[in-house]
């Protein structure tokens, strides 16, 4: 009489259980990775938008002569380039030095707090 080689039913069930645990762990890690990637992409886009806004502020302010810049003009420029969604806002501050301003993009909810630059109007 020949002995039949093979797996028992319980061995197959245990193998399927182990395989399913490994599959669930892999899928969970994949989902976590995709979530982290999505957050990173959003942060990158937000930072890029802030950089563009700051460059636009500098270009706009350089279009004025030193005598034309008033607090109202500064306020209008800052308001114009602030984000409509409220993710960041633009702040422009005068310094004690003549014709030197500090332009900042301040992020509300981000890993980055702010981007800054100095703007000199000759």
**Does residue 2 lie in a domain region?**
no
**Does residue 49 lie in a domain region?**
yes
Q: What is the mean pLDDT of residues 93-110?
A: 87
What does the pLDDT read at residue 101? 92
**Does residue 3 lie in a domain region?**
no
Q: Per residue in 27-56, pLDDT tens? A: 999 999 999 999 999 888 988 998 999 999
Confidence of residue 23 (pLDDT cuts 50, 70, 90): very high
**Does residue 51 lie in a domain region?**
yes
Q: Which residues of 48-79 are buried (b: 16+ CB within 10 A; e: fewer)?
A: ebbeebbeebbebbeeeeeeebeeeebeebbe
Question: Counting Cβ atoms within 10 Å, is residue 121 exposed (0-12), middle (13-18) or buried (19+)?
Answer: middle
What does the pLDDT read at residue 17? 97
**Does residue 4 lie in a domain region?**
no
Q: Per residue in 107-116, pLDDT tens? A: 887 666 888 8
Number of domains in the chain: 1
**Does residue 30 lie in a domain region?**
yes
Q: What is the mean pLDDT of residues 85-93?
A: 89
The SS3 assignment for 90 reads strand
Domain of residue 75, residue span: 10-120
The tokens of 110 are what? 């981000």
Q: Are strands 88-94 and 100-107 parallel, antiparallel or unpaired?
A: antiparallel
83, 53 in Cβ contact below 8 A?
Answer: yes
**Does residue 93 lie in a domain region?**
yes
**Does residue 5 lie in a domain region?**
no
């Amino acid at each position: 009489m020949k002995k039949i080689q093979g797996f028992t039913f319980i061995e197959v069930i245990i193998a399927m259980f182990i395989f399913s645990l490994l599959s669930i762990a892999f899928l969970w890690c994949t989902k976590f990775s995709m979530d982290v990637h999505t957050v990173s992409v959003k942060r990158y886009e937000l930072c890029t938008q802030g950089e563009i806004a700051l460059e636009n502020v500098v270009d706009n302010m350089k279009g004025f002569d030193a005598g034309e810049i008033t607090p109202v003009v500064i306020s209008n420029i800052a308001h114009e380039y602030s984000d409509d969604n409220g993710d960041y806002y633009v702040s422009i501050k005068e310094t004690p030095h003549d014709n030197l301003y500090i332009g900042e993009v301040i992020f509300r909810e981000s890993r980055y707090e702010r981007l800054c630059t100095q703007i000199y109007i000759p």
